[in-house]
């Protein structure tokens, strides 16, 4: 089964990053020089995705503008001989025939956002990427998963271990048989208390799901936080389709939180070929306290 389509649910209000996210979607915040959504699209492309379904805030066209050609800017860069920048903005565009921008009219949760994409997802397996989970890996996370999915099919969810006290921030997995990076999933629970968490295995925002998920999403009642949860729909499919966790190789940054976002910027900046060396010098200065005392508060 080949994977051709991906859904990017990006209609969230980005409350934790206000006021930055008042008019700009959280997924447009940059890690060094690229917005989060572009990292996710590049990961999807590497996994062979050809059709991109963005579930966006109604009336907000920022994401669409980002992935569309920009003749004035391109002309300007061409005239000034800025070849690298020109290439980078052209190569990041998506053929408009391959991109859909679907509004999520009400903030009813991740499961509801996914169901908004049903019309375009069709009757085939689809990948779901949550761009605020930024994953740095030797092979992109979705590439790793697509390879395993080709062998196993069913529903597949990226997972990683977290401290049990953090269970209320995640969907948590009840694991069964383990086979290398694959873990049979026997149950799923969205944002349990640490005591109720069935393990320390947490869901990370990469999924490959069967089209049957839409039927289950339709039937879902609001779950954790009063929202329609993707986790609940996937849990109700256990028994109907194989369900596996995939323990990916790589490092995940939680860019939905300020500290995770800062850490991602540090990690990417420190290993950047252009600014890495200077960034390392800066970090040393701040770590030694020398720069902090002269910078003052904000
Ligand atoms: C969502 C999912 C959750 C998952 C998390 C990963 O939660 O509902 O199961 O563990 O993403 O980032 P959110 O972070 O949107 O509250």
pLDDT in tens, 58-76: 998 999 999 999 999 999 9
117 three-class SS: coil
Q: Say whether both 288 and 233 belong to one domain.
A: no
- Mutate-to-test residue for ligand 1 from 11, 171, 226, highest number of ligand atoms within 8 A of CB: 171
Distance 168 CA to ligand 1 centre (A): 10
Alpha-carbon dihedral 162, 166, 171, 177, rounded to 10 degrees: 30
What distance in Å separates the CA atoms of residue 1 and residue 261, rounded to the nearest whole number?
Answer: 35
Q: Say whether both 134 and 270 belong to one domain.
A: no
Q: Say whether both 229 and 163 belong to one domain.
A: yes
Tens-place pLDDT, residues 202-229:
999 999 999 999 999 988 788 888 899 9
CA-atom Rg of the chain in angstroms: 20
In ligand 1, which atom is closest to the CA atom of 230? 8
Q: Say whether both 252 and 265 belong to one domain.
A: no
- pTM over cut 0.85: yes
Q: Say whether both 178 and 128 belong to one domain.
A: yes
232 close to ligand 1 (CB < 6 Angstrom): no
Give 246: exposed, middle or buried? Use CB within 10 Å, 0-12, 13-18, 19+. buried
In ligand 1, which atom is closest to the CA atom of 225? 16
Bond preceding residue 19 cis, omega within 30 of 0: yes
Instruction: 272-279: list long-range contacts, CB under 8 Å, 24+ apart.
Output: 272/32, 275/32
Q: Say whether both 250 and 284 belong to one domain.
A: no
233 three-class SS: helix
Q: Say whether both 272 and 233 belong to one domain.
A: no
Q: Say whether both 21 and 134 belong to one domain.
A: yes
231 close to ligand 1 (CB < 6 Angstrom): yes
Q: Say whether both 184 and 265 belong to one domain.
A: no
Q: Say whether both 149 and 264 belong to one domain.
A: no
Residue 201: strand pairing partners = 161
Q: Say whether both 120 and 230 belong to one domain.
A: yes
Distance 279 CA to ligand 1 centre (A): 31
Q: The domain containing residue 76 runs over which residues?
A: 5-256
Tens-place pLDDT, residues 97-152:
999 999 999 989 999 999 999 999 999 999 999 999 999 999 999 999 999 999 99
Domain count, the chain: 2
23 three-class SS: coil
Q: Say whether both 210 and 267 belong to one domain.
A: no
- Mutate-to-test residue for ligand 1 from 26, 40, 110, highest number of ligand atoms within 8 A of CB: 110
């Amino acid at each position: 089964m080949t994977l051709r389509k991906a859904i990017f649910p990006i209609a969230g209000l980005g409350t934790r990053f206000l006021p930055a996210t008042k008019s700009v979607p959280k997924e447009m915040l940059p890690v060094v020089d690229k917005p989060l959504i572009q990292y996710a699209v590049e990961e999807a492309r590497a996994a062979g995705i050809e059709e991109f379904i963005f579930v966006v805030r109604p009336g907000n066209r920022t994401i669409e503008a980002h992935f569309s050609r920009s003749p004035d800017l391109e002309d300007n860069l061409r005239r000034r001989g800025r070849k690298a920048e020109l290439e980078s903005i052209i190569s990041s565009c998506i053929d408009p025939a391959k991109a859909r921008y679907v509004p999520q009219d009400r903030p009813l949760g991740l499961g509801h956002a996914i169901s908004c994409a049903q019309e375009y997802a069709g009757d085939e397996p689809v990948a779901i990427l949550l761009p605020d989970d930024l994953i740095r890996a030797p092979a992109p996370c979705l590439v790793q998963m697509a390879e395993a999915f080709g062998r196993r099919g069913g529903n597949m969810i990226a997972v990683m271990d977290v401290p049990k006290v953090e269970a209320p921030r995640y969907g948590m997995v009840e694991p069964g048989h383990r086979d290398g990076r694959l873990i049979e999933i026997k149950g799923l629970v969205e944002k349990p208390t640490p005591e109720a968490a069935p393990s320390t295995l947490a869901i990370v925002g990469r999924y490959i799901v069967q089209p049957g998920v839409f039927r289950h999403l339709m039937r879902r009642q609001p779950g954790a936080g009063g929202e329609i949860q993707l986790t609940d729909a996937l849990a109700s499919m256990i028994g109907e389709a194989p369900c596996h966790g995939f323990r990916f190789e790589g490092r995940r940054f939680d860019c939905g939180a300020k500290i995770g976002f800062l850490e991602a910027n540090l990690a990417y900046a420190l290993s950047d070929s252009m600014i890495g060396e200077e960034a390392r010098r800066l970090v040393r200065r701040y770590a030694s306290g020398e720069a902090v005392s002269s910078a003052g508060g904000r």
